[in-house]
């Protein structure tokens, strides 16, 4: 999966999910995906802005998480996924990864 496809997938999922109540930035192979769910809807862009929660991983690991091949908790504990900031906000991501 390429980076543009990931952004489109996030946009599709985010439009169908309730606002997450904050901002999250994914850094996927050094490319940012910014999700602003602080308003009435979740807005997704490729902007590199400060966020309440920053999640760093690779496109490959993200794909494994989405396919159910990798347990999210194990990914964090093994260092394959790094989370900085509001952990409560990170827990709401399931609705956007569907």
pLDDT digits (tens, 9 = 90+) for 13-71: 888 889 999 999 999 999 999 999 999 999 999 999 999 999 999 999 999 998 999 99
Residue 98 has pLDDT above 70, yes or no: no
Domain count for the chain, please give it: 1
Looking at residue 88, which CATH number applies to its domain?
3.30.1050.10
| pTM score of the predicted model | 0.90
Domain presence at residue 23: yes
DSSP one-letter string for 68-85: TSS-HHHHHHTTSSEEEE
Domain presence at residue 59: yes
Domain presence at residue 98: no
Cα distance from N-terminal residue to C-terminal residue, the chain: 16
Q: What is the pLDDT of residue 95?
A: 67
Domain of residue 36, residue span:
3-93
Bridge partners of 34?
25, 45
């Amino acid at each position: 999966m390429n980076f543009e496809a990931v952004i489109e997938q996030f946009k599709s999922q985010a439009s169908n999910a309730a606002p997450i109540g904050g901002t999250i930035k994914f850094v996927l192979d050094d490319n940012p995906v910014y999700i602003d769910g602080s308003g009435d809807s979740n807005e997704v862009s490729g902007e590199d802005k400060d966020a309440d929660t920053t999640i760093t991983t690779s496109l490959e690991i993200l794909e494994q998480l989405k396919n159910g091949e990798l347990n999210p908790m194990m990914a964090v504990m093994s260092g394959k996924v790094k989370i900085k900031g509001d952990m409560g906000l990170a827990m709401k991501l399931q609705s956007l990864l569907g």
